[in-house]
Amino acid sequence: MKLKFSAEVQKALENQWPIVALESTLVTHGFPFPDNLSIARESEDAVRASGATPATIAVINGAIHVGLSDAELEFIAKPHHDYMKATTRDLPVCMARKQTAGTTVAATMAIAAKAGIKLFATGGIGGVHRGVADTWDISADLTELSRTPVCVVCSGAKSLLDLPKTLEALETLGVPVIGYGTNELPAFYTHTSGLKLDARVDTPAEAASVLKAHAAIGAQNGILVCNPIDASMGLPKDEIERHIEAGLKAAELQGVGGKAATPFLLKYIVSATQGRTVEPNKALIRANAVLAAKVAVEYAKT
């Protein structure tokens, strides 16, 4: 896998400075323009302000970029119906066809690992979808977490998933799931899910010590550090659940499934809440970028 590094990321790699990978489906498929561009810039600036180098990962005209210039960031942010949402299996086709794509959690993890980047910040991971017994719809994010040694800082799994089954799958796959300042799995838009976690850390240094131990034993899977949305920003759990159920029915009626399901449901929830999920979503993305950078700084010290 040939990678194209930005000058900023290349310099950080050469000097072994802390780096945080950032995914690009948040830009290509997560928010409308120009909100997507502003949150991408804010996330990168938050990483820099916290002492690390941001490396937004994307595929542009068939080339895998690790770190984007501002012009490249704007290029992928502008609406274009041909932009792919690329998970790991899509990368060869995307490259061969010289397409442009936002990279999912799974693809970003794989590329970050290839580049030697240990920390990755995102909003929420994919997981086991509701109704899995009928659809077998399970995100490739879980597979990648089982085989790629990158630490993913997130706000748990997306609320629209089957969270108990997702947590059970992560346990089966041997992926450590660690609460940051919490004993419960965060549920993206909501601060808590009611699902207890076995491990907790309360400082970036503690998180970095777990990463160090993980590397010392030669583990080849990923780690999840789950940073809950600020309680003051989160939405009521019952309200979100109601909108998710309605969104799932709408998706079924319209025949929306597979990779298109998550963007559809997220947009449905934004509409159903009259946009009240947008700012919390942005806030948790920024907060995760900051935490990942602080953990990267502590990890670099080791």
Domains, the chain: 3-301 (3.40.1790.10)
pLDDT digits (tens, 9 = 90+) for 192-208: 889 999 999 999 999 99
CA distance 257 to 251: 7
Question: Collapsing DSSP states into helix, strand and coil, what is residue 21?
Answer: strand
Give the residue-averaged pLDDT of 222-242.
Answer: 88
Across the strands, what pairs with 199?
A: 178
CA distance 207 to 218: 17
Q: Which of 8, 44, 118, 158 is catalytic?
A: 158
Are 127 and 158 spatial neighbours (Cβ–Cβ below 8 Å)? Answer: yes
Active site includes 245? no
Which band of pLDDT confidence, cut at 50, 70 and 90, is reported for residue 245? confident
Number of neighbours of residue 142 by Cβ within 10 angstroms:
22
Is the preceding omega at residue 34 within 30 degrees of 0, hence cis? Answer: yes
Are 24 and 107 spatial neighbours (Cβ–Cβ below 8 Å)? Answer: no
CA distance 143 to 126: 10
- Rounded alpha-carbon distances, angstroms, from residue 43 to 39, 47, 120: 6, 6, 12
Name the phi and psi angles at 287, rounded to 5: -60, -40
Q: Of the ranges 35-44, 99-108, 276-285, which one carries the lowest mean pLDDT score?
A: 276-285
- Rounded alpha-carbon distances, angstroms, from residue 223 to 99, 160, 177, 260: 30, 22, 6, 26
Give the residue-averaged pLDDT of 112-127.
Answer: 97
Write down the mean pLDDT value for the chain.
Answer: 93
- The string of DSSP codes covering 125-192 is B--BBTTHHHH--B-HHHHHHHH---EEEESBB-TTB-HHHHHHHHHHTT--EEEES-SB--BTTBS-
Q: Is pLDDT of 262 > 90?
A: no
Q: Of the ranges 49-53, 170-174, 230-234, 282-286, which one carries the lowest mean pLDDT score?
A: 230-234
Give the residue-averaged pLDDT of 171-175.
Answer: 97
Of 158 and 220, the structure prediction assigns the larger pLDDT to 220
Global confidence as pTM:
0.93
Across the strands, what pairs with 60?
A: 63
Return the percent helix, strand and coil in the chain, to nearest 5: 50, 20, 35
Residue with tokens 């119906």: 81
Residue with tokens 């899977």: 221
Active site includes 301? no
Measured CA angle at 154 (ends 152, 156), to 5 deg: 115
pLDDT at 274: 85
pLDDT at 191: 83
Q: Is pLDDT of 31 > 80?
A: yes
Q: Which of 23, 44, 144, 298 is catalytic?
A: 23
pLDDT at 108: 98
CA distance 162 to 225: 19
Dihedral of CA atoms 199, 149, 174, 176 in degrees, nearest 10, equals: 10
